[in-house]
Amino acid sequence: MKIEIRAMVPEDADQVAAVEEQCFAMPWSRQSFWEEASHQETIYLLAIDRDNNDQVVGYVGCWVLSGEGDITNVAVAPAYRRKGVARKILERLIELLKEQQVTAVTLEARASNTPAIALYQSLGFKSVGLRPRYYTNPVEDAEIMWKTDMT
C-alpha cells in the first residue's frame, strides 16, 4: 500500500464525502467539505492510496487562527484503519502547522474512542478535560486534547 498525503482540491469533495459517510453517523455533505476546505484559514489534507486508483482513504481538517490550530475532522476509511494512515496524515499536518509558526493545536475525540486518544497522545496531545454531551448519535462526552509542544 502506497499512501501519499496531499492537499484537498475541489475535485476530491465526492471521495472525501464518501469516506465521511463510512466513518460517521451524521456525516458532513460534499458541499460542507468544500466550503470548509476553501477557507484561507483551513488546511485539509488527504491520504491517497496510490495502489488503489488514487482513492481517498482518509483526511484531516484544521482551522488555523491567531497562531493556534483546531483540528475539526480526522477520518480514515474502515478498511485502512490500524495501518498508520491517520498517523501519517496527522504528522504531515503538524509539520505544516509548525511551518506556519502555530504554537498549539487542539481537537476533541469521543471519550470512548480509545484507539484515537492513544494515537493523539503518542503525537504529544494531552487530555485537558471533557465537553459533556458534545457528540450526538450516540450522545457522548468529548475528550478535549491539546498539543502545546510544537518543537
User: What is the number of domains present in the chain?
Assistant: 1
Torsion, CA 60, CA 49, CA 87, CA 75, rounded to 10: 40
Tens digits of residue pLDDT in 75-99: 999 999 999 999 999 999 999 999 9
Check pLDDT > 80 for residue 126. yes
Phi, psi of 28 (to 5 degrees): -70, 155
The catalytic residue among 44, 59, 80, 120 is 120
Q: 65: domain CATH number?
A: 3.40.630.30
Is 120 annotated as catalytic?
Answer: yes
How is residue 144 written as a grid cell?
A: 478535549
Picking from 32-36, 64-68, 146-150, which range would have the lowest pLDDT averaged per residue?
A: 32-36
Q: What is the mean pLDDT of the chain?
A: 93
CA-CA distance, 13 to 4, in Å (whole number)? 17
Q: Is the pLDDT of residue 11 over 90?
A: no
pLDDT attached to residue 39: 87
Task: Give the model's pLDDT for residue 137.
Answer: 83
Return the CA Rg of the chain.
Answer: 15
Q: Catalytic site residue 108?
A: yes
DSSP string, 65-90: ETTEEEEEEEEE-GGGTTTTHHHHHH
pLDDT at 141: 96
pLDDT(45) > 90 = yes
pLDDT at 129: 97
Residue 151 has pLDDT above 90, yes or no: no
Residues 143/106, Cβ–Cβ less than 8 Å:
no
Domain of residue 136 covers 3-147
Task: Considering the candidates 108, 135, 140, 143, report the single residue annotated as catalytic.
Answer: 108
